[in-house]
Amino acid sequence: MRLLTHNMLQCHVKSCNDPALNFPLQFQEVELEQIEAEENEALLLNLVGKIDWPALVQTTSELGITGLPPTKPDVVKNDPALMKRLHEILLETNVAQGKMVCRGCGHSYPIKDGIPNMLLAEHEI
Amino acid sequence: MPRYLVHFAQFHEDFRLAELEALAQLENIPLKYEPDAYSNDNPFLLVELPSNEDARRLVQRAILVKEICEYWGSGDSYDSLFAHLKTTPERWDDFKTCSFKFLVKAFGGTRTIKEQIKIINTFSFLAFEGPIDLKNPDEVFIVYEDYGNDPILQKALTNPNEIHFGRLIAYSNRDVVQTYNLKKREYLGNTSMDAELSLVMANQALARPGTITYDPFVGTGSFLLTCAHFGAFTMGSDIDGRQIRGARGETDGIKTNIKQYGLDKLILDTLVFDISRNPWRQNNSGGTSTRGGPWFDAIVTDPPYGVRAGAKRLGRKTGLNPELSFVEVEGTVNHLRSDYYPPTVPYEMSEVLTDLLEFAARHLVVGGRLVYWLPTVVDEYSSDDVPLHPCLELKANSEQNFGSWSRRLITMEKSRDWENLTGATIAAAQVSDETAKSTPPVQLGHYNFREKYFSKFDSNSGSSTPNEAVIPAEPTS
Ligand SMILES: C[S@@+](CC[C@H](N)C(=O)[O-])C[C@H]1O[C@@H](n2cnc3c(N)ncnc32)[C@H](O)[C@@H]1O
Ligand SMILES: [Zn+2]
């Protein structure tokens, strides 16, 4: 699973609705892998407008990935090095194995061969 | 404006005009034609376009077009066609010396090679002096004979009803259908959608570079492939992880197809969850939110209809029993077991549709498209059966008929922000909010479709029902 996708997801256990806790999910015991992605400047700029920057910064630092400014820069477009790094992080950095754990309710969503299982249990729906 | 002749494939007729319109919108080309000039019974349509370059762009992705020609003229006989052509002799001059070839294409009839050559020779008055080159000509001129679509009448005809003539501008993208042919695909399921329609769907969705397409019922991933083929980034999810992974281990599943087609740079992710309980962060623009805008530019999907096709959602028939999550099974708390699978209930078709439209209204960008299949019982169909949503505008509705039942490809476009809606507007819609869920909606033609299908049309073979997939009872992820 790519880090972009991680930024798009939150814990969706029914009773877990504190936005300060149900997002971002915390990666644990992960195995990372780089998979090339098509470069598309327009999309990347578009995504920068949509993603939750603080969540991305928190997640990357938990994973030991560096190269992102702590606050979202006003203009990303004119910074080719940052654009390149963002592309590598959002679109090319994959979690092959591991889990995503909710900081609110503790639900652990397993990731196997890059595919997260986000089905809820009976008491969570 | 210059006129062009579009030559459609005489196949999936009800989808052709919708596809052409979608491509005109995608390429931002003003496309004009007489609405009456189009008929599903005939493969020709005369259109007006600003330029040859626009004509080329219009069909470069088209699946249901064969080619487009610069239109030179028509007639109900060769004499009247020639008279028509002779009104614009200045047109011929540009092609005096280039290499060229002629093609004769007969719709609803056949011409032997000998007859074709005879026909071609009657065009000698055009006085083209360049060499004839059958392999690599500078220009191709096409004679279209139209014998009509009535097989009984056709037999009696020795002469076509109508003849058109034009200069080839561009072939379509129809050859790509072969590339995605299911017969050549490594990972298949019984829900895999045929290549041609999957490609048409990508066109309806305006799938293109720099956008993200999502399939919430991804199955074996047919649409991930075709939308990525046109340059879109794609994602998909399914309640049943086995559909995504396949059953044969390492060399199976959607990832095998991604490799086969070399689309790993565009197909971003597949995930396992129930779309009626999905984890996508709603990301609406406006308000005080610093995060801007929904994620998806298109949703392209073949929803599950009927339990046998895997239509289920999380729940328990007898009412939820949360305690069952915590009972110990073989020494482990039930829901923490690695092979735990939550209980499911049938996902009624009207619920599937309500959820799908509401999801699209929330998660599509404005201008983004929802493209999905809707099965209907032919005798009972009325246009009211197509579910509506105040945020979604119906763009196209194309029927593929299987006799007593049909499936319709529905294309909708998000026309306004979800957040700007008041509760009242949503409730007024046919399908959309909680109220609609708790009080059953009007008995739509697709409502209880499956029950109708089996009670009325069961052909005791049980085959060729909509997206037939036999899903064993307890999938694991
Ligand atoms: C008609 S198939 C889609 C086939 C797909 N287009 C392909 O190319 O294989 C419908 C899919 O929906 C899935 N499904 C059923 N209920 C679901 C739900 N509540 N949420 C997500 N997926 C579901 C089924 O597992 C099945 O794979
Ligand atoms: Zn949670």
Q: Of the spans B114-118, B287-291, B339-343, which averages the highest pLDDT?
A: B114-118
A69, pLDDT greater than 80: yes
Give the number of other CB atoms < 10 A from CB of residue B83.
Answer: 12
B243 lines ligand 1 (CB under 6 A): yes
Structure tokens given for A53? 């920057």
Name the pLDDT band for B426 (thresholds 50, 70, 90): very low
Average of per-residue pLDDT values in chain B = 87
- pLDDT interval class at B389 (50, 70, 90): very high
pLDDT of residue B157: 67
Query: How many residues would you count in chain A?
Result: 125
Q: What is the mean pLDDT of residues B360-374?
A: 96
Q: How far apart are CA A16 and CA A2, in angstroms?
A: 24
Directed axis angle between helix B222-229 and helix B195-204, to 10°? 60
Distance separating alpha carbons of residues A86 and A41, to the nearest angstrom:
11
The ligand whose atoms approach the alpha carbon of A24 most closely is 2
> Beta strand pairing status for B312-314 and B344-346?
antiparallel
Digit-coded pLDDT (tens) for B19-41: 999 999 999 999 999 999 999 99
* Segment B163-199, tens digit of pLDDT: 999 999 999 999 999 999 999 999 999 899 999 999 9
List the domain boundaries for chain B.
3-174, 177-311+347-414
* CA–CA dist A89, A79 (Å, integer): 15
Rounded to whole angstroms, the Cα distance separating B391 from B33 reads: 29
Which runs of consecutive H residues, i.e. helices, occur in B278-337?
Answer: none
Q: Please tell me which residue of chain B has the smallest CA distance to A108.
A: B336
Tokens of B138: 């500078």
| CA pair distance B227, B206, nearest whole angstrom | 9
CATH number for region B177-311+347-414: 3.40.50.150
Question: What pLDDT is recorded for position B462?
Answer: 38
Residues of chain A positioned with their CB less than 8 A from the CB of B477: 110, 112, 115, 117, 119
What average pLDDT does range B312-337 have in this prediction?
93
Q: Number of C-alpha atoms within 13 angstroms, CB side, residue B38?
A: 17
Predicted TM-score (pTM) of the model is 0.91
pLDDT tens, residue by residue, A3-52: 999 999 999 999 999 999 999 999 999 999 999 999 999 999 999 999 99
Distance B453 CA to ligand 1 centre (A): 20
B50-56: average pLDDT: 98
How much is the average pLDDT of B285-296? 63
B437 pLDDT exceeds 70?
no
Whether the per-residue pLDDT at B434 is higher than 80: the answer is no
pLDDT band at B154 (very low <50, low <70, confident <90, very high): low
Q: Which of B1-5, B147-151, B287-291 has the lowest mean pLDDT?
A: B287-291
Q: Contact B298/B214 with Cβ under 8 angstroms?
A: yes
CATH of B3-174, one of 3.20.10.10, 3.30.2130.30, 3.40.50.510, 3.90.1300.10: 3.30.2130.30
The residues near B34 (Cβ < 8 Å, ≥ 6 apart) are B46
Q: B472 falls in which pLDDT band (50, 70, 90)?
A: very low
Residue of B nearest to A49 (CA): B292
Cβ pair B4, B55 in contact under 8 A: yes
> Is pLDDT at B453 greater than 50 in this prediction?
no
- CA torsion sign for B334, B335, B341, B347 is positive
| CA pair distance B444, B384, nearest whole angstrom | 7
Most distant CA pair in chain B, distance: 91
Task: Tell me what pLDDT residue B422 has.
Answer: 44
Predicted confidence band of residue B306 (pLDDT cuts 50, 70, 90):
confident
Local structure of residue A90 (DSSP, 8 states): I
Q: Which domains does chain A have, with CATH numbers?
A: 3-124 (2.20.25.10)
Strand bridging mode B233-238 / B267-272: parallel
**B103 to chain A nearest CA, in Å?**
40
Q: Does the Cβ of B313 fall within 6 Å of ligand 1?
A: yes
A45-to-A83, B26, B210, B367, B460 alpha-carbon distances in Å:
8, 21, 10, 18, 55
Record the tokens describing residue B333, joined without a space: 């708390």
Q: Is the pLDDT of residue B442 over 90?
A: no
Q: Is B261 helix (H, G, I), strand (E, B) or coil?
A: helix
Q: Which of A11, A40, A49 sits opposite B210 (nearest CB)?
A: A40
pLDDT of residue B284: 63
